[in-house]
Amino acid sequence: MESVFDSFRRLGPAAFVLEAILAAVVANALLMGFILLRRTYRKRYFAKRDACVFEFRQNWDALISGKIPFENWRKKPFRRRIVEAIALDAFEAAGPEESARLLKFLRGSGLIEKRIFEARHHRGWRRHRALVALGRTRAPEGIRALAEGLRDNNMETRLAALRGLGRMACPEAAEEILAWVGEAGLNVPPLPLQSALIQSSAERPQLLLPYLRHAEGPVREVLGRVLGEVASPSLGMDLLQFAEDDLDELRAAAARGLSHTQGGLALGALSALAQDPVWFVRLRAIVSLGKLHQRGAIPPLLRGLTDSNRLVRLRAAEALVEFQADMVQVFEQAVATRDRYGLHAFLTAVENAGLRQKIEAEVGSCAHVTEEEKNQLLEVLLTGNLPERQPSAPGIAATRMVSGP
């Protein structure tokens, strides 16, 4: 009796085709078996997880208060991961009291210490996962472990540590980030670094100043953008040193921070920055001049009405309508600029502030304006068009008011 192989041999070249077909059938059967086995396993896994989550949710208050002993779930990795995931997700929507309660639970159960240990001693995806979880806890004791993660060779791990430090939102985290940037330079994308520093240095922006004085290149640009976002009254006159800096972001940061500083130096610096070649520096300066609420800010704000950038003109107009006590004089000067776009911006700001009727009444009762000038101003207010010719005496009193102290 001949074997199956002898039968194949007699088929000649067709035997190779038959063998290929049989191999494909076997491979497909194995693949289908693997898929069915995997689906069965995952179905059982998710059913088990769903039941476990439901159990924990039903007893959540007792769980985090310690009434249910931690040993009931902590020694079982499957249950421990579920408890940690639920607690970390609760952090995202928790208020101050609930956050403190959850943090106490994570500390008491040892989950934070476990993540710190994993972040320091594991490598690869395990370290990455530990750093992400540690950052979500916002626990200050995790700052050192996250700072060590910044020096990992893997880019994803460094980014996880950087985002975790940003979530801490405390000066200690900012100090670690700045120290690392000073050592290693810019070895992560600029946007995650900028975001993390904005979150962590907002409480104490003074931390950025010594690093800005010595940083160079892309690092200095990132730090300049960060300072522009977090600049506050606490910086005071320290920002004057950056008012003439070569870096645009630093001049913009100085313009923003000086809005809270009173005095002639701040007004003079902002007036100069309002004529900067870069539009967003002028924009920050105009906004800051409006926040000063000083009559000496009116001349640079009027110049802002004639700016080439639309946003600068709009912000200058919004700042000018805040000087309601001098509204008629400011309106005269806006018309006297003979700038159609600036006038439209001013009238738009007046409409948005609901001051049109107030200006009409004040123009009608104004003593230092002739009848012809009143008619022209009212026509401009009504039509939004510049008069064909400039008034013969365009606001001498206004000029005196604007150039006053």
Rounded Cα gap, residues 214 and 220, in angstroms: 8
> Given this model, what pLDDT does residue 1 score?
47
CA distance 294 to 258: 13
Confidence band (pLDDT; 50, 70, 90) for 279?
very high
- Written as six digits, the tokens of 233 are 């009254």
Q: Are 178 and 198 in contact (CB under 8 A)?
A: no
CA distance 139 to 167: 10
Assign 7 a pLDDT band (cuts: 50, 70, 90): low
pLDDT of residue 262: 64
| Mean pLDDT computed over 60-88 | 89
Cα(218)–Cα(225) distance, rounded to whole angstroms? 11
Q: Is the dihedral of CA 337, 343, 347, 353 positive or negative?
A: negative
Give phi and psi for 167, each to the nearest 5.
-65, -25
The one-character DSSP state at 381 is H
* CB-based contact 317:305 (threshold 8 Å): yes
Q: Residue 157's pLDDT band (boundaries 50, 70, 90)?
A: very high
Q: Tens of pLDDT along 292-343?
A: 888 888 899 999 999 999 999 999 999 988 887 777 788 888 888 888 888 8
Mean pLDDT of 133-152: 93
Measured in Å, how far apart are the chain's first and last C-alpha atoms?
120
Residues 6 or more apart whose Cβ sits within 8 Å of residue 128: 154, 156, 157, 160
The pTM score is: 0.74
Q: Is 10 exposed, middle or buried (0-12, 13-18, 19+ CB in 10 A)?
A: exposed
In the predicted model, what is the mean pLDDT of the chain? 85
Q: Given this model, what pLDDT does residue 322 score?
A: 87
Averaged pLDDT, 3-25: 70
| Averaged pLDDT for residues 204-216 | 88
Q: Which residue has the higher pLDDT, 2 or 110?
A: 110
Residue 278, phi then psi, degrees to nearest 5:
-95, 130
According to the model, what pLDDT value does residue 286 have?
A: 93
The closest of 152, 105, 157, 102 to 131, measured between CA atoms, is 157
User: Which pLDDT value is given to residue 85?
Assistant: 92
Q: What pLDDT is recorded for position 71?
A: 86
User: Is pLDDT at 146 greater than 90 in this prediction?
Assistant: yes
pLDDT the model gives residue 3: 60
pLDDT of res. 402: 42
DSSP string, 19-68: HHHHHHHHHHHHHHHHHHHHHHHHHHHHHHHHHHHHHHHHTHHHHHHTSS
- B/e letters for 288-300, b = 16+ CB within 10 Å, e = fewer, are bbbebebebbbbb
Geometric angle at alpha carbon 230, from 226 and 231, rounded to 5°: 110
- pLDDT at site 11: 59
The reported pLDDT for the residue numbered 189 is 93
Quickly count: other Cβ atoms within 10 Å of residue 340's Cβ: 11
> In the predicted model, is pLDDT for residue 43 greater than 60?
yes
pLDDT higher than threshold 60 for residue 46: yes
Whether 5 has a pLDDT exceeding 80, the answer reads no
Which residue did the predictor score with more confidence, 125 or 264? Answer: 125
**Going by C-beta distance under 8 Å and a sequence separation of 6 or more, which residues neighbour residue 384?**
343, 344, 347
58 φ, ψ to 5°?
-65, -25
pLDDT at residue 399 in the model = 39
Band (366; pLDDT cuts 50, 70, 90): confident
Q: Which residue has the tokens 């003109």?
A: 313
Output the six-digit token pair for 204. 């104490």
Give the residue-averaged pLDDT of 258-283. 85
Q: Per-residue pLDDT for 171 more than 50?
A: yes
Please report which residue ranges of 243-390 form alpha helices under DSSP H: 248-257, 264-273, 279-292, 298-304, 310-320, 327-336, 340-353, 356-364, 371-383
> Which of 201-215, 220-234, 285-299, 389-403 has the weakest average pLDDT?
389-403
pLDDT of residue 392: 46
- Report helix, strand or coil for 276: coil
- CB contact set of 334 (below 8 Å; sequence gap of 6+): 302, 305, 317, 320, 342, 343, 346
